[in-house]
């Protein structure tokens, strides 16, 4: 039970960190490897049925995908404005 509490607290603190950083859009050189890595870790967590890491890595994958879309949209706007 203690390990589950520690895991959930870790998950919550990481999620709070993500929420606090939502205004920043990371560069593609960070977003793409993070997306691939978190997707692979989500699959790994699912295969091992580690619920804490499944939720954490699943959320990281979703956040990375959102950041990828945000970065592409920002790049398109910059090209249209300056192109």
What pLDDT digit, counting tens, does each position of 36-66 carry?
Answer: 999 999 999 999 999 999 999 999 999 899 9
Give the Cβ contact number of residue 42 at 10 Å. 20
**6-15, 30-39, 57-66, 73-82: least confident range:** 73-82
> Rounded to whole angstroms, how far apart are CA atoms 5 and 41?
21
Q: How many domains does the chain have?
A: 1
Each residue's pLDDT tens digit, 18-34: 877 777 788 888 888 88
> Rounded to whole angstroms, how far apart are CA atoms 30 and 64?
9
HSE on the CB side for 29, CA within 13 Å? Answer: 0
HSE on the CB side for 63, CA within 13 Å? Answer: 24
Domain with 60 in it: 2-82
């Amino acid at each position: 039970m203690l390990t589950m509490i520690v895991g959930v607290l870790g998950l919550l603190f990481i999620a709070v960190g993500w929420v606090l950083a939502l205004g920043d859009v990371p560069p593609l050189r960070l977003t793409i490897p993070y997306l691939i890595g978190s997707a692979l870790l989500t699959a790994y967590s699912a295969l091992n049925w580690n619920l804490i890491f499944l939720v954490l890595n699943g959320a990281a994958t979703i956040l990375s995908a959102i950041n990828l879309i945000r970065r592409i949209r920002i790049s398109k706007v910059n090209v249209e404005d300056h192109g």
